[in-house]
Amino acid sequence: MRLSTRNQLTGTITEVDVGTVMAIVKVRLDGGEQVITSSVTKDAALNLGLKAGQPATVFIKSTEVTIGVE
């Protein structure tokens, strides 16, 4: 598969919480403790067979990036 999305992060799914319409998927990134959380449709989560322990790639495409500091 070839994609135009340049921000591709690999990791392992740690949690899939399937609700009535949406699913929340958490992916722990390789090489650290950072976790990316994504909201996908319930149908997408079920069609992809998402489950904890499964390797996954997170694709990030955004028109806005926000940075915060303390």
Tell me the Ramachandran region of residue 42: left when phi exceeds 0, alpha when psi lies from -120 to 50, beta otherwise. Answer: alpha
Q: What is the pLDDT of residue 55?
A: 97
pLDDT tens-place string over residues 23-53: 999 999 999 999 999 999 999 999 999 999 9
Section 12-29 average pLDDT: 97
Which domains are seen in the chain, by residue range?
7-60 (2.40.50.100)
* CA trace torsion 70, 66, 37, 54 (10° rounding): -110
CA distance 55 to 58: 10
Q: What's the pTM?
A: 0.85
